[in-house]
Amino acid sequence: MELLCPAGNLASLKTAYNAGADAVYLGLKDDTNARSFAGLNFSPKKLQQAVDIAKDMGRKIYLTINTFPKPNEEARWYKAIDIAADLDMDALIMADLSLLDYAHRNHPQLPLHLSVQASATNLGALSLYKQEFNIERAVLPRVLSMKQVRDLAKVSPVDLEVFAFGSLCIMAEGRCHLSSYVTGQSPNTGGSCSPAQHVRWQEQGGDQITRLNDVMIDKSGKDEQMGYPVVCKGSYVTEEDNNPEYMLESPTSLNTLSLIPELHKAGVVSLKIEGRQRSPAYVEQVTRVWRNAIDTFMKFPKTFTCQKEWNQALDKVSEGQTTTLGAYERSWQ
């Protein structure tokens, strides 16, 4: 099973490989990817360095181009695909039909992975993407139960990748409209669910205030850990209750360490760690734990158990310092 880790910059990329990642995924420094935050991502020159490092270490490197082009701005997305082809990237991660078509027609040698943003959840969808664009792999949405993953893996015409650890999303896998409503900018085309120019942190009466485009989305004490500045994970008061509560989503991270045997048995080929916006320290901590867990399972598959210290280490870097199996453990359809 491949351990696929995030890299928001060269430091995180080197950290991920050194900690045991088999592959990393990253994006260019523009709105062609869904983590277009200031200070993150790679210029074409930095991307060349990243590819060189990956090849020197014998690891894989995938370029994420998973946003949807704005009208009359498609050229920027096409250029990103051409750059990836020129650099001989190991794969592109994409969702937009026109981009898949462009890459397939112009660079048929370039492996294509279907992004989670395509939300492909069934045989018909995967077969269509395989037939039309010859995708090699699909990233499954985090809405499927473990049974549904197993059932799909039995008939899938392409390799399957699943999210193994990191933030969850209550929208249709990243297609966020809450942020568009508050900021007027779409994450699906602009690449950022909380554009940096709209985020403000303030201190007020001993509290830390988080605002997104002047909308207060969270308040915490000075000694409390501040949450990620997104609308879905903000805490709010209502006309009936002045005590702020998480109305949409509590800060919680997905953690599927205990599912490694089931995912391996199902035939899932890649376990993805979320978090290109996270620090190199986060990448190192999470990658080391998952490397250790996967290696332990591969060495002792019949006696594998999820070790307490692995979960404790992951809890420390999880949102809200809590984790869940999410939809994987859902019993209802």
> Mind listing the pLDDT tens digit for each residue in 19-42?
999 999 999 999 898 887 777 899
Alpha-carbon distance of 44 to 223, in angstroms, equals: 40
- Domain total of the chain: 2
- Same domain, yes or no, for 130 and 151? yes
Neighbour-count burial of 202, counting CB atoms closer than 10 A to its CB (0-12 exposed, 13-18 middle, 19+ buried): exposed
- Do 326 and 142 form a contact (C-beta atoms < 8 A)? yes
Say if residue 246's pLDDT is above 70: yes
Say if residue 173's pLDDT is above 70: no
Of 106, 114, 115, the residue nearest 79 (C-alpha) = 106
- Same domain, yes or no, for 239 and 266? no
Give the rounded percent of residues in the chain with a pLDDT score beyond 70: 97
- Same domain, yes or no, for 44 and 154? yes
pLDDT in tens, 89-111: 999 999 999 999 999 999 999 99
Annotated binding-site positions for [4Fe-4S] cluster:
169, 176, 193, 232
The per-residue pLDDT for 46 is 96
Packed helices 10-19 and 44-57: angle between N→C axes, nearest 10 degrees: 10
The per-residue pLDDT for 167 is 82
Specify if 186 maps to a domain: no
- Same domain, yes or no, for 123 and 230? no
- Do 227 and 210 form a contact (C-beta atoms < 8 A)? yes
- Same domain, yes or no, for 40 and 110? yes
- CA torsion 61-64-65-67 (nearest 10°) is 180
Longest pairwise C-alpha distance within the chain: 60
Higher pLDDT, 187 or 55: 55
Of 17, 18, 15, 39, the residue nearest 27 (C-alpha) = 39
- Specify the amino acid at residue 190: G
What's the predicted TM-score (pTM) here? 0.89
Alpha-carbon distance of 277 to 10, in angstroms, equals: 13
Alpha-carbon distance of 61 to 47, in angstroms, equals: 10
- Do 62 and 23 form a contact (C-beta atoms < 8 A)? yes
- Same domain, yes or no, for 164 and 229? no
For residue 34, the SS3 value is coil
Specify if 190 maps to a domain: no
Both tokens assigned to 312: 């404790």
Q: How much is the average pLDDT of 119-141?
A: 96
Q: How much is the average pLDDT of 178-186?
A: 83
pLDDT in tens, 262-300: 999 999 999 999 988 889 999 999 999 999 999 999 999
Annotated binding-site positions:
169, 176, 193, 232
The range of the structural domain enclosing residue 154 comes to 2-168+252-328
- Same domain, yes or no, for 51 and 26? yes
Specify if 188 maps to a domain: no
- Same domain, yes or no, for 139 and 221? no
The per-residue pLDDT for 101 is 98
Residue 279's contacts (CB-CB under 8 Å, 6 or more residues apart) are 12
- Same domain, yes or no, for 266 and 238? no
Specify if 174 maps to a domain: no
- Same domain, yes or no, for 96 and 238? no
- Same domain, yes or no, for 49 and 143? yes
Both tokens assigned to 299: 């060495």
Q: Output the CA torsion sign for 138, 161, 280, 85.
A: negative
- Same domain, yes or no, for 24 and 143? yes
The per-residue pLDDT for 174 is 60
